């Protein structure tokens, strides 16, 4: 299909804080929605303002609310980045950090494998890590996953594993550093079945940092770890 996204219509397809940045762009942060995320941000976001003050480009792609970082979502994100990289003549060496929570946590991990420009860092909050298991975890999930992967030319289990962090560990890029946050009272994405399994497997071949928010529910890191989450993102940008 012909690509239609350009700088003039970019706000239809993504939120970007680029117009707030006063100096030279130092890095890029991608933020992916959780399941069902449909917001558009014409007035900006707190995170967008925060990163603009530090000359960091902050982008939220308006991806399919049931996208699960399938092929279409990867291609859309690449296209959005193409527009901004061309607009500001950014080097392909500029640091990119992939972030998100829940489905967005899965998305930010999976995107590092398929991205046109490989992120150097990935910071995930309560990510879904075992997608075939997640299909069985809640009654609201099968319809979303079937929607995301229905068109794949393979069986559903194979399609789910193609976007499942736990099943991609051996193929995740070596240049990318992964940092995982998870709430130990998470009732939507079980920490034991997702982040703990993923971190344990990933730690066999590389360093990974894992932060546990004690006594907190899904994606609710609390003030201290929310600040740490931002610090870890900024740590990838010199």
What is the per-residue pLDDT across 145-160, written as a single tens digit (0 to 9) for each?
Answer: 999 999 999 999 999 9
Provide mean pLDDT across the span 49-66: 98
| CA distance linking residue 148 with residue 154, whole number of Å | 13
Cβ neighbours of residue 187 closer than 8 Å, sequence gap 6 or more: 217, 218
Which residue segments constitute the domains of the chain, with CATH numbers given? 10-234 (3.40.50.1820)
Pairing of strands 177-183, 121-125: parallel
The answer to whether residue 238 scores a pLDDT higher than 90 is no
| Predicted pLDDT of residue 1 | 78
At 144, which helix (H) or strand (E)?
helix 142-149
Percent of the chain residues topping a pLDDT of 70? 100
Query: Taking Cα atoms as reference points, which of 178, 187, 63 lies closest to residue 110?
Result: 178
Query: Taking Cα atoms as reference points, which of 41, 59, 179, 159 lies closest to residue 117?
Result: 59
pLDDT digits (tens, 9 = 90+) for 101-152: 999 999 999 999 999 999 999 999 999 999 999 999 999 999 999 999 999 9
Provide mean pLDDT across the span 87-99: 97
Provide mean pLDDT across the span 51-58: 98
pLDDT digits (tens, 9 = 90+) for 208-233: 999 999 999 999 999 999 999 999 99
Output the six-digit token pair for 9.
Answer: 């219509």
| pTM (2 d.p.) | 0.98
Percent of the chain residues topping a pLDDT of 90? 99
Provide mean pLDDT across the span 11-30: 98
| Predicted pLDDT of residue 8 | 98
Provide mean pLDDT across the span 78-90: 98
């Amino acid at each position: 299909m012909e690509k239609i996204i350009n700088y003039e219509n970019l706000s239809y397809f993504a939120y970007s804080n680029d117009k707030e940045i006063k100096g030279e762009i130092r890095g890029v942060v991608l933020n992916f929605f959780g399941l069902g995320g449909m917001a558009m941000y014409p007035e900006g976001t707190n995170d967008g303002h925060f990163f603009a003050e530090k000359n960091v480009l902050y982008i939220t792609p308006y991806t399919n609310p049931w996208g699960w970082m399938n092929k279409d979502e990867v291609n859309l994100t690449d296209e959005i980045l193409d527009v901004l990289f061309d607009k500001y003549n950014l080097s392909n060496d500029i640091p990119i950090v992939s972030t998100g929570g829940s489905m967005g946590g899965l998305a930010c991990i999976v995107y590092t494998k398929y991205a046109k420009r490989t992120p150097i860092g990935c910071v995930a909050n309560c990510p879904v890590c075992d997608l075939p298991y997640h299909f069985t975890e809640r009654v609201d999930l099968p319809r979303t996953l079937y929607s995301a992967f229905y068109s794949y030319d393979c069986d559903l289990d194979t399609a789910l594993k193609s976007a499942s962090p736990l099943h991609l560990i051996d193929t995740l890029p070596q240049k990318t550093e992964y940092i995982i946050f998870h709430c130990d009272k998470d009732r939507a994405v079980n920490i034991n079945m997702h982040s703990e399994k993923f971190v344990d497997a990933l730690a066999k071949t590389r360093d990974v940092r894992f932060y546990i928010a004690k006594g907190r529910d899904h994606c609710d890191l609390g003030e201290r770890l929310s600040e740490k989450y931002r610090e870890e993102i900024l740590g990838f940008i010199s």
